[in-house]
Amino acid sequence: MAAAKKIASILLSRSSSASRSFHLRRGAASGIQRFATAAVVEEEPITPPVQINHTQHLINGKFVDSASGKTFPTFDPRTGEVITHVSQGEVEDVNRAVAAARKAFDEGPWPKMTAYERSRILFRAADLIEKHNDEIAALESWDSGKTYEQSSLVEIPMVIRYMRYYAGWADKIHGLVVPADGPHHVQVLYEPIGVAGQIIPWNFPLVMFAWKVGPALACGNTVIIKTAQQTPLSALYVAKLFHEAGLPDGVLNVVSGYGPTAGAALASHMDVDKLAFTGSTPTGKVVMELAAKSNLKSVILELGGKSPMIVLEDGDVDQAVELAHSALFFNQGQCCCAGSRTFVHERVYDEFVEKSKARALKRVVGDPFRKGVEQGPQIDGDQFNRILHYIKSGIDGGASLVTGGDRLGSKGFYIQPTIFSDVKDDMIIAKEEIFGPVQSIFKFSDLDEVIRRSNASPFGLAAGVFTNNMDNANTLMRALRVGTVWINCYGVFDAALPFGGYKMSGQGREKGIDSLKAYLEVKSVVTTLKNPAWL
Ligand SMILES: NC(=O)c1ccc[n+]([C@@H]2O[C@H](COP(=O)([O-])OP(=O)(O)OC[C@H]3O[C@@H](n4cnc5c(N)ncnc54)[C@H](O)[C@@H]3O)[C@@H](O)[C@H]2O)c1
């Protein structure tokens, strides 16, 4: 019982600053209508508590229009209406941003500053983000549809924590002196790579910004980051704060625009030394090819997933239901690491399915700016249609629709929390990343079977395990071919914890010490010693 309580506190906590989970407390939501009525999403949208001040690219420390003068719209997922128009970056804008970053690296003060000075600027930037937490959170929610409570209480505080983590590293990166087989003084130096190009998705715009910009700057690199076309607003605001904190011009450049133009220009640029990409697996392959065909820049990839959430038969079923629910439905189901294959032991399967249905029916869907709402709209019409298409494929493929299965309301991109049971491994919904609020529940009989079926995926990003049996937990944590295993918790994203994928979920790691290695070159220096006193 004590263990179960501990699990609940991990799962339901609003996260300590040291070890934040992506999960919020279950919405109290008294007076808010459930998705069965749909009325709540038909109400007039709440006006977000923020003004939009920055819509141009941030290049060389200044906000500038696109060379072409073009702009593109960014939309409110609650209504599908335009929020504002943003400068549309293309090849020429990327060239300008890379030139600024190149100059700031080759001639500018950033890599030449002391590590302590760099660290202080990053700490000041984190302080400014904290000061403006609520405006930034409002921009993030307006542009992406994620709940304001999630942005303001979880994600922006996580961004601040990540920036402080990397600020702390800046003056602790040091080399080695290693023994050699001869009269040589052998040093290993860790140096910044140079100009880093970074491409991020829309599902966690600022968290992805922090995972990339933090380690790159801490190591002394300069950066051009291309935001997702769906969510350009928050990064412009935050990058401005870095400059207010004292970041020299050209060190951090933000270009808004589409993937095949601005993104491809960055990935294939001859003056970019490192490429960091987060997004879908198909686009990951494209950018890797562009990097290889241009200057063979090294690449780090954070890609898609189809992560198993494994519920063994020995635990408290109510706790397991809540954990598996949040593992899938968090952030409208738009998480790379979503627990999108819920494997449940046959002994508790029927009870689990019934209780999961009850939990999904209680999920509070509505305007993300309304207090107590757990689920906002999907990001845009493309994703909305894609998810509805997957739901149809689940029904046509013979899975049992337990609840949901349709849109919610008549405007914007809201989808009913949906559950399928009796899902078979060869169904499309069992194999492909749905990226929406659609839970698929599978039945299994024993440990070997669930290991084999969990690993039978081209993805290997993450997995969850729910059990009180530590022997089984130990077996699973070693057998699962994934980058992260959460045991009796899910979605814990500590700054010090490396995150990344096995197989087609990516290459390399972000966060933790491993992310620093991704932004450092290793140089060996050998000096001949004359008459050494010792070797
Ligand atoms: N592993 C992780 O850490 C992680 C984290 C978040 C999201 N994701 C994945 O991201 C995907 C969802 O994001 P998405 O739909 O924005 O992905 P996406 O691949 O469509 O786009 C990601 C980014 O790549 C850009 N892009 C698109 N085409 C490009 C091209 N030809 N050249 C260069 N850049 C291009 C986009 O403009 C965007 O900025 C999911 O598959 C999800 O699993 C992974």
Question: Which residue has its alpha carbon closest to ligand 1 atom 36?
Answer: 259
pLDDT at 178 over 70: yes
Does the C-beta of 506 come closer than 6 Å to ligand 1? Answer: yes
Which whole-number Å values give the CA distances from 100 to 30, 142, 251, 327, in the listed order? 52, 31, 8, 41
pLDDT-based confidence at residue 534 (cuts at 50, 70, 90)? confident
CA of 279 to the centre of ligand 1 (A): 2
Which residue, among 499, 443, 489, has the nearest Cα to 466 in the 3D structure? 489
Percent of the chain with pLDDT over 90: 90
Label each residue of 230-257 as H, E or C: CCCHHHHHHHHHHHHCCCCCCCEEEECC
- The residue whose CA has the least distance to atom 6 of ligand 1 is 336
- Does ligand 1 come within 6 angstroms of the Cβ of 21? no
Token pair recorded at residue 27: 């919405």
Which pLDDT tens digit goes with each residue over 55-110? 999 999 999 999 999 999 999 999 999 999 999 999 999 999 999 999 999 998 99
Is 482 close to ligand 1, i.e. is its CB under 6 Å away? no
User: Where do runs of H (alpha helix) occur along 48-114?
Assistant: 91-106
CA of 400 to the centre of ligand 1 (A): 31
What count of other Cβ atoms lies within 10 Å of the Cβ of residue 142?
29
Q: Which of 480, 516, 522, 515 is nearest to 500 (CA)?
A: 515
Q: Is the minimum distance from the CB of 136 to ligand 1 under 6 angstroms?
A: no
- pTM for this model (two decimals): 0.94
CB 258 within 8 A of CB 232: no
- Segment 326-340 shows an average pLDDT of 98
Q: Domains in the chain, ordered, with CATH?
A: 58-303+508-517 (3.40.605.10), 308-498 (3.40.309.10)
pLDDT, one tens digit per residue, over 229-256 is 999 999 999 999 999 999 999 999 999 9
Ligand 1 and 305: CB distance under 6 A: yes
Contacts of 108 (CB under 8 A, 6+ apart): 222, 248, 249, 250, 251
Q: Could you tell me where the DSSP H helices lie in 203-316?
A: 205-218, 233-244, 264-267, 281-293
* Helices assigned H by DSSP within 47-132: 91-106, 115-131
> What is the radius of gyration, based on Cα positions, of the chain?
24
How many angstroms separate the alpha carbon of residue 378 from the centre of ligand 1? 16
From 30-34, 164-168, 180-184, 382-386, the region with the lowest mean pLDDT: 30-34
205 CB within 6 A, ligand 1 = no
SS3 428: helix
DSSP sequence for 354-414: HHHHHHHHH--BS-TTSTT--B---S-HHHHHHHHHHHHHHHHHT-EEEE--SB-SSSTT-
Q: Which helix (H) or strand (E) holds 8?
A: helix 2-12
- Ligand 1 atom with the smallest distance to the CA of 200 is 39
Residue 43 binned pLDDT confidence (cut-offs 50, 70, 90): confident
> 237 CA distance to ligand 1 centroid (A)?
21
Average pLDDT over residues 498-515: 97
Catalytic residues: 302
How sure is the predictor about 23, in pLDDT bands with cuts at 50, 70 and 90?
A: low
CA atoms of 182 and 249, how far apart (whole Å): 46
Comparing CA positions, the residue from 401, 409, 405 lying closest to residue 377 is 409
Residue 363 has pLDDT above 60, yes or no: yes
Q: Which of 22, 199, 300, 384 to mutate to test the pocket of ligand 1 (most atoms within 8 A of CB)?
A: 199
198-202, 286-290, 407-411, 425-429: range with lowest mean pLDDT: 407-411
Cβ burial, residue 226 (10 Å; 0-12/13-18/19+)? buried
Give me the mean pLDDT over the 44-63 stretch. 96
Query: What strand order describes the sheet that includes 62-64?
Result: 62-64, 57-59, 252-255, 222-226, 195-199, 274-278, 298-302, 506-507
Mean pLDDT of 387-409: 97
Q: How many CA atoms lie within 13 A of 138 on its CB side?
A: 12
Q: Are 490 and 323 in contact (CB under 8 A)?
A: yes
User: What per-residue confidence (pLDDT) applies to 28?
Assistant: 36
CB 322 within 8 A of CB 311: no
Best substitution site from 146, 280, 290, 502 to test ligand 1's pocket, by max atoms within 8 Å of Cβ? 280
d(CA 8, CA 523): 47
What is the CA(281)–ligand 1 centre distance, in A? 8
Q: Compute the distance from residue 327 Cα to the ligand 1 centre, in Å.
A: 21
CA distance 191 to 183: 25
Contact status, residue 253 vs residue 59, Cβ threshold 8 Å? yes
Count Cβ neighbours within 10 Å for each residue of 263-301 and write b for 16 or more, e otherwise.
bbbbbbbebbbbbbbbbbbebbebbbebbeeeeebebbb
What average pLDDT does this structure show over 46-57?
97
Rounded CA-CA distance 519/212 in Å is: 10
Q: So what's the pLDDT on residue 108?
A: 86
